[in-house]
A and B are shown apart, each in its own frame.
Chain A
Amino acid sequence: MSVHITSPAFKENAKKALADAPLQSALSKVGPGFIGRRTAAAGLLPEFDALRDSARDIKNHTLAHLDLYLERYETKVRAAGGHVHFAVDAAEARDIVTDICRRLGAKTVTKGKSMVSEEIGLNDHLAACGIEPVETDLGEYLIQIRGEAPSHIIAPAIHLNKDQVEADFRRVHAHLPPERNLSEPTALLAEARGELRQRFLQADVGITGANFLVAETGTSIIVTNEGNGDLTQTLPKAHIVLASLEKLVPTLEDVSQLLRVLARSATGQEMSVYTTFSTGPRRPEDVDGPGEYHVVILDNGRSGMLAGQLREMLRCIRCGACMNHCPVYHAVGGHAYGWVYPGPMGAVLTPSIIGIEKGANLPNASTFCGRCEEVCPVRIPLPKLMRHWREKEFERHLTPAPQRFGLGVWSFFARRGWLYRPATRLAMWGLSRLGWRAGRFSTLPLAGGWTRHRDFPAPEGDTFQAQWHARKAKRGQE
């Protein structure tokens, strides 16, 4: 894994993020923007929930037959004149890409936005091999010139403010007149368009991800709003597609079902601007298009996920709705998660790829409010899968000692009702007596993590169970 992992330091990352004023200003716009747009788009399509069921079923069917669909896909790509390469891990995927680039004598490669590229740390590797990678998605371009990782899977620069972008453009585009006006976002966009246009035309190789691969036809699909990925794959000598193996779907009809939920869940659009279906390289009669077409299919731990509960995570179509609706993501942003995939989907996927030893903090970064599962277009039970990781963490003794001790004490009582009920009654009675005057506690032993930021309300007297029994007994008398 070449991307620096800071997931083990999630707590410190989160603390820093909460104190970062520009970041908090940028994050304050995430929830209101994305949530409202998704709700509106879903509301405009009465069949939206039925399509989500359909999307879930298509993915389940494909995963259950993944070996056969992979075979079929591979055969079709080869028949169209393309090449399929399988990579067991990140290092192998990087080598496949650099070998193709070297063979073609590539000096620069343009890139469409690809999370798999981030996962395998491709840019650093290309640069180390003397090949210049140029990110062309505006958000990816911004984080590339800042030397940062994406903080969101569909809006990589969502942690940035306009003023930061202006400062970066003045620093990096030093050949442009310093007195130019960049106060408006339109001026920033126009400048990026101008700067990148030449790069598109000069690039030797274009690298994109894939939103989907279609077994029926051997087609790779990318979805963009800018048209950057589409230019990336059309203009250079070769197009390399990076895709993880769960991107496969059986047919064009199946992918149409998934496309109906993708943009609506992601940005609240009815359809993204460019949906590009690519099948093989330039054909004899063509007057444009790439001369070579390669697909790198990455496993990197995913095949193992097919065996158990985590198979459900492989339905993910990377729309970002889970993080757009996540209160923890809204508070700390994507970088705090410490690797490539943030938010609830990252909390489930990251430990599968980098290991639970390094990723254990992420499934704990959830209140289990369930909004992620509620909006997931392929109905992944994200809270259940985070709980799966929490159990694994506990089983493998990765949980901190005080927490283990606390859980041990609680489970001792919880499994002995005759002890649990009187003990909790006594504790609640005690707390209510201690706090009867103020109705709340500003400090409480063992609850400093809570009371440092807000008061702890004093219990009213009896436990829920005791009140329930009393009520039932009363009703029995009536």
Chain B
Amino acid sequence: MSSRDIVFASVRRALGVTGAEAPRRQEVDGRIAGHPRGVIPQRAQLPPAERLDLFKRMVLAAAGTLDHLQDAAVVPEAVAAYLRARNLPPALLRGADPRLADLPWHLQPTLDVWIGASDGRQLVGLSHAFAGIAESGTVVMLSGPDNPSTLNLLPDYHLVVVQAADVAGDYETVWDRVRAAYGPGEMPRTVNWITGPSRSADIEQTLLLGAHGPRSLHVLLVGEPG
């Protein structure tokens, strides 16, 4: 008997089942197919304008920073200003996301824009979020060549473009969008929910920013809710 068989036999013995009971199977299949939502907080169900306000407030409450830009075309300018204000070298690393590639980077000729995954040597990373979540001020990042996961974690400064139209009230709405993009039951290799910059309270419960991940998380919120 393999260990797998032993574990399954032991679970089934304890539950008093064989595993072949049709009603149990139907129950499980039904739950996965229907993926019912549970309790959704009131604050996650606001109308678009208030939802966006809550998102902004929650990003700041999680010690993130935020610029609200009216148009994606000014993202390169806002990025350059962000780096200048912090005395950072004018260079960043981003993925191949066409929504980032199509921005007018040529208007910032002094800004070096590199494309690829991070090997830990870049100070600044730029990514495009799949979604924002208002109830907790979270940005949702999907792995892949467009937005490599290492950009979320290795640079000291992580800049994230979030389309206002992509800001959802709750997590559940975003899961439905992931299902729509990848198919039911399918996921990108990695989904990172990020709520503020890295921190630790492991020394005497004193909360300090900048543990192993980015010391700063800056959200570039673009446009108005659709």
A residues neighboring B (CB under 8 Å): 26, 29-30, 33-34, 45-47, 50-51, 54, 58, 61, 64-72, 76, 80, 85-88, 92, 136-139, 142, 155-158, 160-162, 165, 185-186, 188-190, 192-193, 196-197, 200-201, 215-219, 225-228, 230-231, 234-235, 245, 250-254, 256-257, 259-260, 267, 269-283, 285-289, 297, 299, 303-307
Contacts and interface: CB of A to CB of B under 8 A. Distances in A.
Contacts of A190: 210
B7 A88 contact: yes
Contacts of B40: 47
Given A47-B40, A138-B203, 20 more contacts: A47-B41, A68-B24, A70-B8, A86-B3, A88-B6, A88-B7, A193-B210, A193-B211, A225-B211, A227-B214, A234-B149, A234-B153, A245-B11, A253-B38, A254-B35, A254-B38, A271-B62, A275-B195, A280-B189, A303-B14
Contacts of A158: 205
A252 B33 CA distance: 11
Interface stretch (B83-91, B97-105, B115-123, B159-167): B115-123
Contacts of B192: 230, 274-277
Contacts of A66: 11, 15
What are the 5 closest A-B residue pairs judged by CB atoms, nearest first? A227-B213, A226-B211, A306-B14, A139-B202, A303-B10
Given A29-B205, A47-B42, A273-B196, A215 B189 contact: no
Interface residues of B, number: 84
A92 B3 contact: yes
Contacts of B145: 285-287
Given A157-B202, A226-B211, A216 B35 contact: yes
Nearest to B211: A226
B194 A253 contact: no
B52 to A, nearest CB: 17
A277 B153 contact: no
A273 B62 contact: yes
Given A189-B208, A231-B212, A267-B201, A201 B120 contact: yes
A272 B194 CA distance: 8
Contacts of A34: 205
B194 A273 contact: yes
A50 B212 CA distance: 35
B24 A65 contact: yes
A273 B14 contact: no
Contacts of B223: none
A278 B58 CA distance: 25
A307 B12 CA distance: 9
Contacts of A225: 198-201, 211
Contact of B198 (A227, A234, A254): A227
B4 interface: yes
B32 A67 contact: no
Residue of A226, A234, A267 contacting most chain B CB atoms (<10 Å): A234
B114 to A, nearest CB: 13
A67 B11 contact: yes
Contacts of B205: 29-30, 33-34, 155, 158
Interface in B64-101: 95
B37 interface: yes
B160 to A, nearest CB: 13
B193 A275 contact: yes
B191 A276 contact: yes
Nearest to A25: B204
Contacts of A47: 39-42
A255 B210 CA distance: 27
15 contacts: A30-B205, A47-B39, A68-B25, A87-B3, A157-B202, A188-B203, A189-B203, A189-B211, A217-B187, A231-B213, A260-B41, A287-B148, A297-B7, A303-B14, A306-B15
A234 B151 CA distance: 11
A58 B7 CA distance: 22
Nearest to B188: A279
Contact of B190 (A86, A189, A278): A278
Interface in B111-138: 116-120, 135-138
Nearest to B40: A47
Contact of A304 (B10, B19, B36, B135): B10
Given A227-B153, A235-B150, A303-B10, A45 B41 contact: yes
Nearest to B4: A86
A110 B116 CA distance: 24
A231 B7 contact: no
B48 interface: no
Contact of B31 (A50, A250, A276): A250
Contacts of A165: 203
A200 B212 contact: yes
Interface string B166-185: 00001110010010000001
A219 to B, nearest CB: 6
A47 B43 CA distance: 10
B171 A256 contact: yes
A268 B35 CA distance: 28
B225 interface: no
Contacts of B7: 70, 86, 88, 245, 297, 299, 303
A389 B69 CA distance: 60
B185 A304 contact: no
Nearest to A219: B187
A281 B116 contact: no
Contact of B212 (A86, A136, A267, A278): A136
Given A86-B3, A250-B31, A254-B38, A185 B203 contact: yes
A276 B204 CA distance: 26
B35 A189 contact: no
A76 B185 contact: yes
A190 B208 CA distance: 10
A271 B204 CA distance: 21
* Most chain B beta-carbon contacts within 10 A, residue among A67, A76, A259: A67
A188 to B, nearest CB: 6
Nearest to B27: A65
Contacts of A217: 185-187
B32 A72 contact: yes
Highest count of chain A CB atoms <10 Å: which of B43, B170, B192? B192
Nearest to A197: B120
Interface centre among A137, A139, A226, A304 (most CB of B within 10 A): A226
B117 A288 contact: yes
Contact of B136 (A67, A271, A281): A271
